[in-house]
Amino acid sequence: MLDSILVANRGEIACRVLRTARAMGLRTVAVYHHADRGAPHVSLADSALELHAEVPTAAYLDAAQIIAAAERSGAASVHPGYGFLAENGDFAAAVEAAGLVFIGPQPEVIRLMGDKVHARAFAAEAGVPLAPSALMEESFEAFLDAAAGIGLPLLIKAAAGGGGKGMSIVHDAADLEARARTAMSEAERYFADGRVYAERYVEQPRHIEVQVLGDGRGNVVHLFERECSVQRRFQKIVEEAPAATLPAELRARICEAAVKLATRANYRNAGTVEFILAPDGEFYFLEMNTRLQVEHPVTEMICGVDLVEAQLRLAGGEGLPWTQDAISVTGHAIECRVCCEDPARDFLPATGRARVLREPHGPGVRFDGGIREGQPITAAFDSMIGKLVCRGDDRTQAIDRAVAALGELTLLGVDHNIDYLARVIDHPAFRAGALHTGFVTEHADTLGAPVLDADARAAVVIAAALGVDDFRRLAYDIPEPYASIGGWRN
């Protein structure tokens, strides 16, 4: 059993991991950049060490400083969260070389799955279905020929990629060369690795992924699937578990494929195998994420487990906490990613200050947040500031609860997608489970902000006017009492 942990991350995931570690009685250590000194993860830990870097994100990417902080604080283990160094095999290796426990898979497994080309080859050997593809091996010209041979439409991706960077869909053969060159330059810029590959683009695909846990000795269990089909800019914004609709037989085959892949890799700790599901029921390996996923809470809510606790127990050498038979699904859960962005302007990231922040409450409602009221939202970090996760006895109840909770969730002072998320999950097509990764684009016309009638507009401007001193003074003779003015005074 581990007795102490350093969480090498920030924001909601650092808070999430720290909470479970504390509940288990571990001594907890946070790290932070100066820009985050007032962030909640810093005060949640028993101790916190500052990382120094000019650019805030660089601090959380500085493996040497983080390992030094772990050694200085006496932490016995390191949890990487997601993003930053979570899928960096060299970091995992360096943590282990320092005599610390890396809470995640073996470094060589991280490297294998992090290279999309090698991961695909490995999946093929494991008997996991793959979409027809072309790799760039010898010349650019040979790659173009091979890619053209797959048939259109095509998806071009970075070999070292993730998160939609360096990704492009080609519908017209005439665009292939230009798109491939753009993808290569983006791949070079984001990942310092210009290799790309092309694969058949499945029209109206669904994104289905399987949560797995392994003990590193070839024993693997799955915790069923999640559906993450609702995306914008190739990034997920709404996830759910189980999938919206999935025949039992197909679900069993997808989960089995994930277990097969993880077993062959002697997978250790928590991981996720992602698949593309075509409308005809064929599914193809997409990639394996060798870490805890952003959307892990939906699995926790339907399986009644704490995945971080399982991670810590596995890392402490306890073996798999459950047999496959002991894992079952009850109910349905939906997660909405709360991002500071403007859905009306192509999801342009927004900056500002979280002047008012009120989290929702209620049965089956969980809010995994990572900012506190008053905190600035800068361009230095990812635009996601929290996740609303709701569980229901069935999908409809989970949606109803999430819609109500989004209505209650209040964030003022920075643009955000909270209202937009409510419109997405309350949309008839979402409620019907008619999902695919182009959902947001397909329904753009009906996902816009509602048009208000004159009385509704009047209510909004009256509510706003009462927040303006000049107006209040005339309305009430006196300025608003300090007790009800709120954060805007400070």
Partner 1 sequence: MSTSFPFTLDGQTHSLTIRARRPALVVEVDGRCYTVSEDASGVPGESTLLIDGRPHRVARTRESDRVHVKLDRTTWSVAYEDPVTAAQHDAGGDDVLRADMPGVVVSLNAAPGAAVASGDVLLVIESMKMQINVVAHRDGTVENVHVEVNQSFDKGTELVSLHPST
Round to whole Å and give the CA distance between 216 and 326.
20
Cα 225-366-403 angle, rounded to 5 deg:
85
Q: What counts of helices (H) and strands (E) characterise the chain?
A: 18, 23
263 phi and psi angles, rounded to 5 deg: -65, -45
Residue in 170, 224, 203 with CA at minimum distance from that of residue 278? 203
CB of 462 to partner 1, least distance (A): 6
- Which DSSP letter does residue 479 get? P
Q: Which stretches does DSSP call E strand in 233-266?
A: 235-241
User: Is residue 484 at the binding interface for partner 1, with CB under 8 A as the rule?
Assistant: yes
Scanning residues 223 to 282, which ones bind partner 1 (CB under 8 A)?
233
Decide: is 365 part of the binding site for partner 1 (CB under 8 A): no
Residues 396-415 that bind partner 1 (CB under 8 A): 406-408, 410-413, 415
Residue number with CB closer to partner 1 (98 or 456): 456
Q: CA–CA distance from 236 to each of 277, 295, 397 (Å)?
A: 16, 9, 22
441: left (phi over 0), alpha (psi -120 to 50) or beta: alpha
Residue 367's SS3 state is strand
Contact status, residue 161 vs residue 187, Cβ threshold 8 Å: yes
Q: Are the beta carbons of 115 and 160 closer than 8 angstroms?
A: yes
CB of 35 to partner 1, least distance (A): 13
Interaction between residue 346 and partner 1 (CB under 8 A): yes
Which C-beta is closer to partner 1: that of 215 or that of 341? 341
Looking at beta carbons only, is 46 or 419 nearer to partner 1?
419
CB of 152 to partner 1, least distance (A): 24
CA separation for the pair 18, 334 (Å, rounded)? 23
* Binding status of residue 23 toward partner 1 by CB under 8 A: no
User: Between residues 141 and 477, which has the closer beta carbon with respect to partner 1?
Assistant: 477
168 interacts with partner 1 by CB under 8 A: no
> Considering the rule CB under 8 A, would residue 374 count as an interface residue with partner 1?
no
Pairing outcome for strands 27-33 and 47-51 = parallel
* Amino acid letter for position 460: V
- Does the protein bind partner 1 through residue 330 (CB under 8 A)? no
Among positions 367, 381, 430, 439, the unique one binding partner 1 when judged by CB under 8 A: 381
Q: Which of 111, 268, 416, 443 binds partner 1 (CB under 8 A)?
A: 416
* Residue spans of beta strands (DSSP E) within 80-203: 101-102, 133-135, 154-158, 168-170, 196-200
60 binds partner 1 (CB under 8 A): no
Catalytic residues: 291
Half-sphere exposure of 249 (CA within 13 A, CB side): 2
> What's the min distance (Å) between Cβ of 336 and partner 1?
14
Is 55 a binder of partner 1 (CB under 8 A)? Answer: no
* Contact set for partner 1, span 462-481 (CB under 8 A): 462-468, 470-471, 474-477, 481
Binder of partner 1 out of 115, 177, 188, 382 (CB under 8 A): 382
Number of residues forming the site for partner 1 (CB under 8 A): 58
Binding site for partner 1 (CB under 8 A): 163, 165, 233, 346, 348-353, 355-356, 358, 379, 381-383, 406-408, 410-413, 415-416, 418-419, 422, 449-450, 454-455, 457-468, 470-471, 474-477, 481, 483-488
